[in-house]
Structure 1
Amino acid sequence: MPFSVAKILSGVILLLTLCQVSSTIPMQDFSLDRGFGSHLNWTSFDQAIRSSVETRRPIMLLLHQKWCKACRDLMPKFRANRYIEKLSPLFEMVNLIDDEVPKDPKFAPDGSYFPRIFFISPEGEVMTDIYNPEAVDRYFYYYYEADSVARSMLKAVHKFYNVADDDDSTEL
């Protein structure tokens, strides 16, 4: 059964149209780690809020954007940091990206830059006193080194779990 050139051409055009339409539909990232470490126990923000109340574990909330170079630069450092890996089970770990980032001003106390990391109590309070120990003057919740994240996690552990430390150090 011979095919006419017109039928073949219309089939090719249909196929190209379908490919073009499907390429404009954004791919959904169903992985909760979003490049920050599949070996960590990430959860959704809603689930973290519920679990935090039940378990009394604080939430560590990472806010980032796909377009953000600083966010992409932090990813491999965060993923590979052994201190973050060891401390993460003490937290409800959440990372939100792009349109998931909350618009609530409590998540931007000193601006809407990225990446930002916050620690949230089981009562839902953003702990603004836990911030990047490397921050100077502004952008207190901006992290560019994984060890700084780990030091903030350690400070949060001291605070939330009432861990006494003679010198209140957050040295790793």
Structure 2
Amino acid sequence: MLRSIVCALALLIAVPFAAIARPAPHADLWNGKDIAWRDVRSGISESAQTGRPAIMVFHTTWCSVCKRFRLLFKNPEIVAASKDFVMILVDADVDREVNGIFSKDGNYVPRTIFMDANGKVSNTLVGRDRQYPHTLDVDRPDELLALMKRARGLGGTAPKAPPSTESRT
């Protein structure tokens, strides 16, 4: 059921925004100078178009745990690993609809979700906390790095070729 919702959401929001790669609000707080954070609409579209898996991080600006978690994204290994993914940053207070769609186990933050390029959310790439499985260690990069390494093969589709610019006569 959730996969169907995610796929439908991806189709509905990706098509109108397919050509626009927009940075996510608050990306500057999450090391936006080194990590290409996208908003959810352009991020899902980019993932589908490139075949790269996505990592969605749900946060709020007031959350003290989120503030600690965002420091991990300054870690050079996390920065390097992020290049293999479409990084999507979602403010759970601002984008309540998306937050609700991706909250089958709760609306807690921070919440980190791994998704393949077809829009399927991974139920195996999760943290150690059984009650809040999409919560990761916010103080050390090890858990996030291990999940990123495992997730590299989640692409799901081959990258699509860019449209031809040749004129046909």
Give the TM interval when normalised to the shorter protein: 0.5 to 0.7
Aligned length in residues: 129
Structure 2 residue identity aligned to 1:82:
P
2:150 corresponds to: 155
2:37 corresponds to: 42
1:94 corresponds to: 88
The structure whose Rg is larger is 1
Q: Which runs of 5+ in 1 are unaligned?
A: 1-28, 162-172
Q: Give 3-state SS (helix, strand or coil) of 2:48's partner.
A: helix
Distance 1:44 1:30, change over 3 A: closer
CA distance in 2, matches of 1:83, 1:100: 29
Query: Is residue 141 of structure 2 the alignment partner of residue 131 of structure 1?
Result: no
Q: How far is 1:147 from its partner? A: 2.4
Deviating beyond 2 angstroms after TM superposition, the runs of 4 or more aligned structure 1 residues are 29-32, 158-161
Distance 1:153 1:126, change over 3 A: same
Query: Is residue 140 of structure 2 the alignment partner of residue 140 of structure 1?
Result: no
1:127-152 per-position Cα deviation (integer Å, ceiling 9, x unaligned): 121112xx133211112233221211
Q: Which runs of 5+ in 2 are unaligned?
A: 1-22, 157-169
Distance 1:95 1:103, change over 3 A: closer
Q: Give the superposed CA RMSD.
A: 2.2
Would the aligned equivalents of 1:32 and 1:42 in 2 still touch at CA under 8 Å? no
Distance 1:99 1:83, change over 3 A: same
Q: How far is 1:115 from its partner? A: 0.1
Structure 2 residue identity aligned to 1:137:
R
Structure 2 residue identity aligned to 1:75:
R
CA distance in 2, matches of 1:55, 1:159: 12
Q: Give 3-state SS (helix, strand or coil) of 1:62's partner.
A: strand
1:71 corresponds to: 66
CA distance in 2, matches of 1:52, 1:116: 19
Distance 1:103 1:76, change over 3 A: closer
Give the TM-score normalised by structure 1: 0.67
Would the aligned equivalents of 2:63 and 2:109 in 1 still touch at CA under 8 Å? yes
1:113 corresponds to: 108
Q: Give 3-state SS (helix, strand or coil) of 2:94's partner.
A: helix
1:84 corresponds to: 78
